[in-house]
Amino acid sequence: MANVAVIGTQWGDEGKGKIVDWLSERADIVVRFQGGHNAGHTLVIDGKEYKLSILPSGTVRSGKLSIIGNGTVVDPFHLISEINTLREQGVEISPRNLMVSETATLILPIHAQVDKARELLRGSGKIGTTGRGIGPAYEDKIARRAIRIADLSNVAILEEKIEQIVNWHNIFLKASGEEAVLARSILEQLKPIIPEILSYTGRSWEVLGAAHISGKRVLFEGAQGVMLDIDHGTYPFVTSSNTVAAQAATGSGTGPSNIHFTLGITKAYTTRVGEGPFPTEDFAEDGQRMGEKGREFGTVTGRKRRCGWFDAVMVRQAGLMAGITGMALTKLDVLDGFKTLKICVGYEVDGKKITYFPADTQSQINCVPIYEEMPGWSETTYGARSWADLPANAVKYIRRLEELTQIPVALLSTSPEREDTILVKDPFIAS
């Protein structure tokens, strides 16, 4: 049996929720290994909709252990709120089926204040952050002043660390005309929820080590997408963590040899939320049509997503950087009815043709897509459960994407319903 890491190959919002839920039913343990509550998954199970942002998708499945790994940043107030929301929907959550790594970093209220203030000061140069404190919390982690979950067990140390964090961030808040934050205020907010947070705390590395020895299946669940990776994405318009598969090991406390298959979730077209370069963005009728048919609004923020044609150059690059084994192609049905489909096969930058996504910001902005056109299909692909159910031109489109990205399709999703999935290669079955 194989352990599987699931990541997005584009700018997030590729439809990971359904695929991860489909896989989590077959897993014993589901681990979130990076990001915070800025990411969102919408799961539809037996007609009931669940919206998750920090909790792993396995939480809504009975008999699974869900782990929030050390590579995440955790807003403790949001975590409890999300737990309570799911409980109201009938989901059983307790320390028996949810663990939070003792070395995960905390997001404090001051982090969100700093995040929002910075974005306002950037004006037209804003990055597009969700304002939830993710970036400032990761900054504190790297600067070695962060509060980790384990620190909640010692109030004296906790108070000292909060004081240090508040003193640092208040410098910026005061300089930008914002009201300074009192350390005592944050401590008093935290105290009532500390016992509940600590009840979920554990050593994720130890649990995953035992799981490896006993041969349990582990699903590593990523957030966002490769092109939002802090190192490999469209910097500075990126998230504050590594989103590639290698982070699944680092961010959960296991070795890379314990991850056997990397599944890259890939939308059949391209979308992006917020600011940043987007070479294949379509501002005309086709882009509008994709957005309407695909219901392209963020799960967490509700922000409208920008839409455009499939960028094979970007996905191929993501596959090489992240070591993607197979692709899960989603939302193919959104392209039903298009007379002609476009695929980006290269860019022209300042008169020069290139077949990679450039690293420098100005070249990214100057990328003009070079398109290859293919005939669309008038038949529906919605709900298809076998290759025989797909129109011939849809199959040709899929095969061409495989050729251009050099990533074979392992799964094909044809609707939000989990049963509407065509399985080509089971990621959990080792080759």
Q: Which residues are catalytic?
A: 13, 41
Torsion of CA 84, 13, 409, 324, to 10 degrees: -90
> 181 is written with which tokens?
């934050």
State whether residue 101 is helix, strand or coil: strand
Within 10 Å of residue 239's Cβ, how many Cβ atoms? 26
User: Terminus-to-terminus CA distance in the chain, angstroms?
Assistant: 9
| Contact (CB, 8 A) for 162 and 146 | no
Strands (E), 38-78: 41-45, 48-52, 65-68, 73-74
CA distances from 74 to 24, 56, 87, 310, 340 (A): 22, 12, 19, 33, 44
Angle, in degrees to the nearest 10, between helices 155-175 and 109-122? 20
Q: Comparing C-alpha atoms, which of 331, 336, 365, 330 is closest to residue 350?
A: 365
List all residues 6 or more positions away from 321 whose beta carbon is below 8 Å from its beta carbon: 226, 229, 232, 244
Residue 372: name the closest of 411, 342, 352 by CA.
342
Strands 98-101 and 310-311, bridge-based pairing: unpaired
What phi and psi values does residue 335 have, to the nearest 5 degrees? -85, 0
26 vs 3: CA distance, rounded Å:
11
Cα–Cα distance for residue pair 224/245, rounded to 1 Å: 12
CB 219 within 8 A of CB 231: no
**8 Å CB contact between 234 and 278:** no
Token pair 């999703």 is found at: 413
Residue 205 CA: distances (Å) to CA of 104, 149, 258: 12, 15, 12
Spatial CB neighbours of 41, under 8 Å, sequence gap ≥ 6: 16, 17, 20, 21, 51, 52, 53, 57, 299
